[in-house]
Amino acid sequence: MSAPPFDRLTPSLRAFAAGIALLWAGAALAQTSIEDQVTTATLDNGLEVVVIEDHRAPVVVHMLWYRAGSADETPGVSGVAHFLEHLLFQGTKNMAPGELSRVVAENGGTDNAFTSYDQTGYYQRVAADRLGLMMQMEADRMVNLQLGPEEIRTEREVIIEERNMRTENDPAALMREQARAAQYLNHRYGVPIIGWRHEMVGLDLEAALEYYQTNYAPNNALLIVAGDVTPDEVLALAKEHYGPIAANPDLAPRDRPQEPPQTAPRRLVFEDPRVAQPYVIRTYLAPERDPGAQEKAAALMLLSEVLGGGQTSVLNEKLQFDQKLVVYAGAGYGGVSLDDTTFSLVVVPVEGVSLEAAETALDAAVAEFLEEGVDTEQLDRIKRQFEASRIYARDNVERVANQYGRALTSGLTVEDVHAWPEIVAAVTEEDILAAAREVFDDKASVTSWLMRPQEVTQ
């Protein structure tokens, strides 16, 4: 996290584009010819280890991932996964609050952590010869967390300010929160990662420790080390530091409440006087990449590129260039997910075009696309870019490490990650159309309008 820019302007439009681009990169980066640089192992206590070698610079990224995120919380304590992630910087039996980050900095490194629906991760980026020290501290906080009431109180205020910053101050974020809650009728994906405010204010040590003891154990974790290291070194250090930690014998399978059949389209209008640029976003419940069965997800990933991946995409050709009704159109698909994910379509109308008209035009464009089929040349270009992205990916081993981490904590295996490029290459135009017809099911959709209150005049 860094400071917000003070005078650089990034139109919100570009934020959309970045979101989509990131998704594409995410899909692509996980698999590159970097496969040759990947080695895996598992310790006796169940800790899975992945080493990604890149010897161009004397740098190493050390990441510890837990197969537990906000969707693994118990009802009533939303935000506790993320709260605990903060608390892991607040001291152990062996380290004072803040000591870990201070030691990392003293060694010229940087550290951070993140929480998502399906995973929580901690990482440091340091000179390669400091890897052992990083492991020593990370292993310590896997089991030795020790917190006082003062740390709990202060850190709870910090995460509430974090919610203020990310969500309360941003009408689009507030709208997305409502839309996800409407999308997921039963799954915890409908609850925000940061938590609902009314539950966040009640988070306490007990809730945090319960989540910690349930989920933080070597047999529920994944160690990824990427950079200027050899697999042998990493394994020896991992055995030394993580090896002595006992597995949690009571670790339960991740059987989370699943979605029932969705049988009614949902619509919501989110009004906020702070909205300056209204838009329409629709999400559909969609299948994710499953181990051994990624074909449909590959077709959906390519569908999102065909429809919304840049200037030459179908929606932009039709709505931005030909009909001149939108300033931006996009599509998004997050295939890496443990349970059902979403496929999204978004249109940002030009001035003077109502949300209703924009939505109607979007529907018409999608219907036309289903009639017209996929343009062969466009698909060829997309696949060529996908191949090239595997070459570019080798320049950023940290991002590759992230992709492996996400995939392997979302139910996929290294084999799945490595099979992905061929599966994508084999997707046909017919596969994409079939995936489109299946995913665009009104009954599993949520259509959201973001607008100012005074605009409620259609």
Partner 1 sequence: MTALFNAPLVKTWAFAAAALVMAALPARAEIEIQEVTTPGGISAWLVEEPSIPFVALELRFKGGGSLDAPDKRGATNLMVGLLEEGTGEMDARAFARELESLAASFDYDTFDDTISVSAKFLTDTTDAAMALLRGSLVAPAFNQVAIDRVKAQVLSGLASDLSDPDKIAGRTFDRLAFGDHPYATSLDGTRDSVMALSREDIVAAHAAAFARDRVYVSAVGDISAEELSALLDELLGDLPETGAPLPGTAPFLLEGGLTVEPFDTPQSVVLFGHRGLERDHPDFLAAYVINEVFGGSGLTSRLMSEVREKRGLTYGVYSYLVPKDHAALVMGSVASANNRVAETIAVIREEWAKLGQDGLTAEELAAAKTYLTGAYPLRFDGNGPIANILIGMQMDGLGPEYVTERNALVEALTLDEVNRVAAELYDPEALHFVVVGQPEGLETQ
Task: Return the active site residues.
Answer: 85
Q: By C-beta, is 231 or 405 nearer to partner 1?
A: 405
Instruction: Report in angstroms how near the CB of residue 443 gets to partner 1 at its nearest.
Output: 25
Q: 19 or 46, CB closer to partner 1?
A: 19
Are the C-beta atoms of 111 and 101 separated by less than 8 Å? yes
DSSP, collapsed to helix, strand or coil, labels residue 86 as helix
Burial of 380 (0-12, 13-18, 19+ CB in 10 A): exposed
CB of 322 to partner 1, least distance (A): 10
Output the smallest distance, CB 270 to partner 1, in A: 14
Whole-number minimum distance, CB 324 to partner 1, in Å? 7
Whether the CA torsion 15, 16, 17, 23 is positive or negative: it is: positive
CB nearer partner 1, residue 83 or residue 284? 83
In angstroms, give the least distance from the CB of 131 to partner 1: 13
| Residue among 153 and 267 whose Cβ is closer to partner 1 | 153
How many Å apart are CA 181 and CA 183, to the nearest integer?
A: 6
Judged by beta carbon, residue 239 or residue 381, the one nearer partner 1 is: 381
**Considering the complex, what minimum distance in angstroms separates the CB of residue 37 from partner 1?**
12
Query: Between residues 142 and 193, which has the closer beta carbon with respect to partner 1?
Result: 193
Q: Which value, in Å, is the radius of gyration of the alpha carbons in the chain?
A: 23
Cα end-to-end distance, the chain, whole Å: 41
251, 73, 257, 221: CA torsion to nearest 10: -40
Residues 31, 419: Cα–Cα separation, whole Å:
8
Helices 376-393 and 414-426, axial angle in degrees (round to 10): 150
146-172 burial code (b ≥16 CB/10 A, e <16): ebeeebbeebbeebbebbeeebeeebb
Cα–Cα distance for residue pair 223/220, rounded to 1 Å: 10
